[in-house]
Amino acid sequence: MARRPDRKRCIIVTVVVVALFIIVLGLVLGLTLRKEPEQFETTFINRCEKFKGYDCNKLWTAFEQAYVGQDPCKVTVEDYDPFIAAASFKPACNRMMFWSKTKDIVHAFTAKNPCFVTLEDTVLGGVADGLTWCGKEGSSETFTTGCPGWSDCENNTVRSFWNKASAAFADAACGNVTAMLNGAVDTPFSSTSIFGSIEMPRFTSPTVKRLNIVLLTQTNSGANCTNASLKELQNTLAKGITYSCSEMTEAQLQQCSSKPCGNCW
Ligand code: JS2
């Protein structure tokens, strides 16, 4: 007889342990998911505060109104207009740098050579660089997981942002403009890339006087300035803008980083 109460007690203990485990798991998940929106906003505000002269709470409000409560695949570039207006910046004439397939090396360069400015070195791109975010119909939260990918839908939250921010940055281009392209790929210039389809078409003469292409090459291999895609670039560049192309290895670029604003191309 003594065996039955033991068996019953064992079943009760198991049920209690499983129930406790489910409660703890739910609490951890709930806390993590609740932290998601706050962490994103905190990251946004902290990054914004690194740029002087902006009301970062106003910038955050303008940013989140573009996508909060929306289907994450129905956020258009125009939805970010209020943010672009709030994040206006003084163009760095002769020092603006564009890039394509060279993100990491370009940002390592501008980190050492603050003379040159990429979109991500301004508040416009700096607050969102490397981040993922989206909203959901019926929710006032910002999500950073479960968002549609870049190619999942045309009007996706992050893709519309970068298309809009890139267009705004290119609209502000002035004087000598630099673009760092990747000589290790067959077509360093692609008319379907953001640089080729959104930014370069916005360079107009006489505001933009010159486009300096810096083609980053591996030592003595890969594409050079005679590459066919660069001929296509020249053919589509607005009339009146002077074009130059310089081949540069990463080592040469490193040496350039030490020159304060001295052009190496
Ligand atoms: C930044 C992101 C992210 O000139 C550059 C920049 O102005 C950039 O905004 O757009 C140009 C590069 O785009 P492109 O030519 O398509 O080059 P890529 O290397 O094929 O694409 C890189 C992704 C650009 C858009 N983008 N830009 N920071 O976190 C970020 N995420 C995405 N998707």
Domain CATH for 161: 1.20.82.10
CB distance 58 to 48 below 8 Å: no
- Predicted pLDDT at 15: 82
**Which atom of ligand 1 approaches the CA of 199 most closely?**
4
How far is ligand 1, taken at its centre, from the CA of residue 194, in Å? 7
Residue 5 to residue 62: CA distance in whole angstroms: 64
Q: 114 lies in a domain?
A: yes
Q: Are 63 and 83 in contact (CB under 8 A)?
A: yes
**Which protein residue has the closest C-alpha to ligand 1 atom 28?**
129
Residue 12 falls within a domain, yes or no?
no
Considering only the C-alpha atoms of the chain, give the largest distance between any 2 of them, rounded to a whole number of Å: 100
Atom of ligand 1 nearest to the CA of 159: 33
- Overall number of domains in the chain: 1
Write down the pLDDT at residue 75. 98
Residue 262 falls within a domain, yes or no?
A: no
pLDDT of residue 101: 97
Tell me the CB-side half-sphere exposure of residue 11, using CA atoms within 13 A: 5
Q: What residues are in contact with ligand 1 under a 6 Å CB criterion? A: 98-101, 103, 119-120, 125, 129-130, 150, 162, 166, 169, 193-195, 199
Closest ligand 1 atom to 118 CA: 7
Rounded CA gap, 238 and 64, in Å? 35
Residue whose CA lies nearest to ligand 1 atom number 17: 100
User: Can you tell me which atom of ligand 1 is nearest the CA of 150?
Assistant: 33
CA of 130 to the centre of ligand 1 (A): 10
- Could you give the 3-state DSSP secondary structure of residue 90? coil
Give the pLDDT score at 21.
82
Distance 8 CA to ligand 1 centre (A): 63
Look up the domain containing 200 and give its range.
Answer: 35-257
Q: Is residue 81 part of a domain?
A: yes
Which pLDDT score, from 0 to 100, does residue 96 have?
A: 96
Q: Note the pLDDT of residue 76.
A: 98
Integer Rg of the chain from CA: 25
Does a structural domain hold residue 20?
Answer: no
pTM across the whole model: 0.88
Instruction: Return the pLDDT at 1.
Output: 45
Does any domain span residue 14?
A: no
Give the pair of three-digit tokens for residue 224.
């050079």
Tens-binned pLDDT, residue by residue, of the chain (265 aa) = 445 668 888 888 888 888 788 777 766 665 555 566 679 999 999 999 999 999 999 999 999 999 999 999 999 999 999 999 999 999 999 999 999 999 999 999 999 888 899 999 999 999 999 999 999 999 999 999 999 999 999 999 999 999 999 999 999 999 999 999 999 999 999 999 999 999 999 999 999 999 999 999 877 678 899 999 999 999 999 999 999 999 999 888 988 876 667 667 8
Q: Residue length, the chain?
A: 265
Residue nearest to atom 32 of ligand 1 (CA): 162
Q: How many CB atoms lie within 10 A of CB 138?
A: 6
Q: What is the pLDDT of residue 73?
A: 98
